[in-house]
Structures are given as C-alpha cells and as structure tokens.
C-alpha cells in the first residue's frame, strides 16, 4: 500500500507544528482568533519510505495593482499559502543546483545533473533534473481560492448577494476581468483574481472594497501548473520540467466539493481543451489527483474556539524549507521597513534570479551565462529563447482553457550577481 493522503497532510502539519511561535498566528483570546491557510510540498520516494516535507508556506494576501511597479522584484506579488509553498520549493531546488554546480563530486537527494545525451541545443540550458524516483504532492489546509472553492464560498455567505462587477477600463487601477472574490457566483469555470492586502490593516478579512490585484486565484495558478510544472520561470532555466509535476493535491474533507475540483482541474472540466496535450521541452498536461484528509489545521478558520468572539486573518506569512525559515508581512521580511533592501525575502524574484546567475557562474558555462546576461532586466530574461517552450505552453493554455487571464506585469528590475 502506498503513502496515504492522511500521511501527506500529517507530514506538513507536523513540520509546521515544529516551527517557533514567531511564525504562527497570535494565541487565541476572548476577543479574537487568528487563522491562516497552510500549504506544503511533500516528496515520496517509494511505498516504503516516509513522506518528506520539502517546503511549506502560510498566508492569504497579495500585492495591489498600484504597488506592483514599485516592488522592484523585492516584494512578493502573491503570498497565498500555496504560492509561498511553491516558491519555497523552488528556492530549495535552486540552492541544491548551486551546491551541485560548485562541486562536481557533490550529490543531492532531490536534484541530479543531466547527462549530455539528455540535452538538446536549447534544453542544454537545463543542466539539472529532479530525480525520477521522487513523487511530488501538495497539501493545503483550505480549498484553493477561486473556481475550486466557489460552492464553498456561496454556502458560507450570510448574504448571498454577489458583489457588483464594476465596468472599468484599461489604464485604471481596477479592471473588469478576470473576476474576483464574490463577483458573479453563477459564472463557474472562469479565471478569477485575488483581492489585495491593505498594508495598513493586513489583519482585516477580505471585503468587496479591498485593494484590487491582477494576481490570479490559486485554482487558476494550480490548473496552469498541471501544464507548466511547478517550476518557476527562473528555475526552469536550470531544471528540466519533466519530473516536476504534482501527483496529488490534498485538502480537508470539509473543503472538498467534487464537481468544483473536476471543473477546475480535471481533464473533463475547463482543462478539457488541453487534455492529452504534449508540448516541446518536456511539457505536458499532467492532471493531479485531488484527495482528502480528515486532518484539520490548528489555525484553520474551522478551529476557532467558541470562546473567541471574532475571526481574524493573521498578517504573518511563514516560509520554510530545509534551508530556509522566514516570516513575512505584506510580502517582505517581518520587522523590516518598507524600503529597506534587507527586507527582501529569499523567495522574492530578485533574490531567486540572482541565485540563477550564481549557479551559471559556478557551472563555468560562459555561453549560457551570456545568453541570460545580455540584458540585465528581468523582463528581457523572460523573453529569452531559452524560455520559449515554456512561454508557448502558457500562451496555449491561456487561450484554450484559462481564457480571460490578464498578466500581472510592471515589476521589471535589474538582475546581478550581488
């Protein structure tokens, strides 16, 4: 018998329990109980090996549209738990690659060097691969926001009246599509976006008037990652995607609605237009299985004690992998001033792109380094021929399965080895 869904969930929950108190919501009082979503990436090698938590994250906010251009790569655009966990996983991968690049004799339990015969002229930019015997799973303490949780959202409303959809135009700070939150309950299977964080009141629950963003829902992002793998664009420059797909997504039974998950992620739902597809570069539509657990997270909203009057969201987002431990507030390190360069998280775009350059420099591959370094701006990086296959997958999926996707652009920054 293989590793159970409960075991995958328990692995993440136990890892989180072991974190110090500064990474967790404040203790419940008579006045309020703070809750926060938790997510984690778990690796399983075989049916006889215990599952291992490779990363986890908590959080449930993202950056408003009008702050993206000022982020300079140093502020997370999205710190929902699933996204934090995936970025922490990619941070781990990049640092495993750095160790392998720095020492030809070193070995990693997660990443291996690719042999010359495995690489084409273009995929030669991906000198690493995740080990073939590593199966990847994700646990989430809540159903992913967006399409996979719309039925739950509707059931939970005391007032079922959807928020009105504002008819706005490009160039404003608010856009009419993709939709977000409670807008248009009757429209299912569509791309939605997340409400933003109020930097002055990050503890408040989401409201109709919360700052608007272009960060797509976790349902949409996870649906896309069934095609692109769970590698970020930065990690995709170094690691072949073939072994970087999730096999399952596990969340509590109380959060599971079969028709919502089938519609959001399944090959017969909105993803039917790319079902069975394969693309160049090792990409394919590889739908994950959605499973459930009876385990509940101690800081879920369902864990609120009757003695606490009010339910509040925690402003602290935790980041963890075996090499990293951070707490974030509004996308930056907790306790750092807004413009302090030392406030950049290790999983922010600026620091992860720097690690890519460090790996390439350590590999001693000047041609590859030159290909990336011809422009010092990250926007040019992402238009590199080396990411052409990945861009093609995303464009195809957005056109056929995830229509209405608007890119969250504007955060272009300089990349260097420092």
- Residues with Cβ within 8 Å of 183's Cβ and at least 6 positions away in sequence, in order, are 162, 163, 164, 165, 192
pLDDT digits over 367-380, tens only? Answer: 666 666 666 788 87
Q: Using alpha carbons, list the distances in angstroms from residue 136 to 12, 98, 103, 110, 221.
A: 13, 21, 26, 11, 17
Q: Using alpha carbons, list the distances in angstroms from residue 40 to 18, 118, 314.
A: 14, 30, 18
Q: Note the pLDDT of residue 198.
A: 44
What percent of the chain shows pLDDT beyond 90?
Answer: 61
Q: Note the pLDDT of residue 375.
A: 63
H-helix segments, 76-206: 81-102, 150-156
Rounded distance, CA 207 to CA 159, Å? 13
Q: Note the pLDDT of residue 204.
A: 38
Q: Is 220 helix (H, G, I), strand (E, B) or coil?
A: helix
pLDDT at 13 exceeding the cut of 80: yes
Tell me the mean pLDDT in the region 223-234. Answer: 97
Q: Note the pLDDT of residue 372.
A: 67
Tell me the mean pLDDT in the region 274-286. Answer: 96
Q: Note the pLDDT of residue 214.
A: 81
Rounded distance, CA 204 to CA 26, Å? 14
What percent of the chain shows pLDDT beyond 70?
Answer: 84
pLDDT interval class at 66 (50, 70, 90): confident
Buried b (16+ CB within 10 A) or exposed e, 196-229: bbbbeebeeebeeebbbbbbbbbbbbbbbbbbbb
* Range in 241-255, 312-326, 338-352 the model is least confident about: 338-352
CB 380 within 8 A of CB 42: no
Q: Note the pLDDT of residue 174.
A: 43
Q: Note the pLDDT of residue 371.
A: 67
- Nearest Cα to Cα of residue 263 among 290, 294, 285: 290
CA atoms within a 13 Å half-sphere pointing along the CA-CB vector of 204: 13
Q: Report the residue count for the chain.
A: 418
* Beta bridge pairs of residue 240: 129
The model's pTM: 0.91
Q: Note the pLDDT of residue 28.
A: 86
- Nearest Cα to Cα of residue 321 among 105, 107, 96: 96
* Beta bridge pairs of residue 325: 320
Q: Which strand ranges, in their side-by-side order, compose the sheet holding 38-44?
A: 289-293, 246-252, 135-140, 38-44, 52-58, 316-321, 324-329, 332-333
Tell me the mean pLDDT in the region 309-335. Answer: 94
Q: Note the pLDDT of residue 181.
A: 55
Q: At which residue do the structure tokens 């000022």 appear?
A: 70
* Range in 31-45, 56-70, 240-254, 284-298 the model is least confident about: 56-70
Token representation of residue 406: 């608007």
Higher local confidence (pLDDT), 93 or 309: 93
pLDDT at 227 exceeding the cut of 90: yes
Tell me the mean pLDDT in the region 289-317. Answer: 94
Q: Note the pLDDT of residue 114.
A: 93
pLDDT digits over 132-186, tens only? Answer: 999 999 999 999 999 999 999 888 776 666 555 544 334 434 444 445 555 677 7
Phi, psi (rounded to 5 degrees) for 328: -120, 150
CA atoms within a 13 Å half-sphere pointing along the CA-CB vector of 320: 25
pLDDT digits over 233-277, tens only? Answer: 999 999 999 999 999 999 999 999 999 999 999 999 999 999 999
Strand 283-284 to 192-195 pairing: unpaired
Tell me the mean pLDDT in the region 76-96. Answer: 97
Q: Note the pLDDT of residue 14.
A: 98
């Amino acid at each position: 018998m293989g590793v159970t869904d409960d075991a995958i969930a328990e692995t993440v929950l136990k890892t989180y329990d072991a974190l110090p108190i500064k990474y967790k919501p404040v203790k419940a009082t008579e006045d309020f109980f703070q809750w926060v979503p938790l997510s984690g990436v778990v690796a399983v090698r075989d049916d006889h090996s215990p599952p291992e938590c490779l990363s986890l994250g908590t959080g449930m906010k993202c950056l408003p549209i009008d702050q993206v251009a000022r982020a300079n790569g140093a502020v997370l655009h999205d710190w929902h738990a699933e996204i934090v966990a995936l970025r922490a996983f990619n941070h781990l991968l990049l640092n495993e690659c750095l160790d392998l690049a720095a020492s030809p004799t070193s070995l990693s339990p997660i990443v291996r060097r690719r042999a010359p015969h495995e690489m084409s002229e273009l995929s030669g930019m991906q000198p690493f691969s995740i080990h073939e015997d590593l199966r990847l799973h994700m646990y989430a303490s809540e159903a992913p926001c967006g399409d996979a949780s719309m039925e739950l959202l509707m059931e939970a409303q005391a007032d079922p009246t959807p928020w009105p959809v504002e008819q706005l135009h490009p160039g404003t700070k608010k856009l009419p599509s993709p939709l977000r939150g409670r807008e248009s309950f009757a429209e299912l299977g569509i791309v939605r976006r997340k409400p933003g964080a109020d930097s002055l009141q990050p503890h408040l629950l989401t409201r109709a008037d919360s700052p608007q963003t272009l960060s797509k829902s976790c349902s949409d992002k996870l649906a896309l990652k069934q095609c692109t793998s769970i590698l970020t664009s930065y990690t995709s420059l170094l690691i072949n995607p073939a072994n970087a797909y999730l096999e399952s997504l596990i969340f509590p039974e109380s959060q599971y609605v079969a028709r919502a998950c089938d519609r959001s992620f399944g090959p017969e739902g909105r993803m039917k237009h790319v079902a069975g597809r394969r693309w160049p570069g090792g990409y394919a539509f590889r739908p994950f299985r959605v499973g459930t657990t009876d385990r509940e997270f101690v800081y879920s909203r369902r864990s609120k004690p009757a003695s606490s009057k009010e339910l509040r969201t925690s402003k602290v987002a935790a980041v963890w992998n075996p090499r990293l431990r951070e707490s974030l507030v509004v996308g930056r390190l907790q306790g750092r001033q807004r413009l302090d360069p030392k406030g950049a998280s290790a999983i922010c775009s600026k620091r992860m792109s720097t690690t890519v350059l460090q790996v390439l420099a350590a590999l001693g591959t000047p041609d590859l380094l030159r290909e990336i370094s011809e422009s010092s701006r990250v926007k040019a990086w992402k238009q590199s021929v080396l990411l052409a296959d990945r861009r093609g997958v995303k464009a195809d999926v957005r056109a056929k399965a995830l229509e209405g996707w608007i890119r969250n652009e504007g955060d272009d920054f300089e990349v260097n080895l420092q």
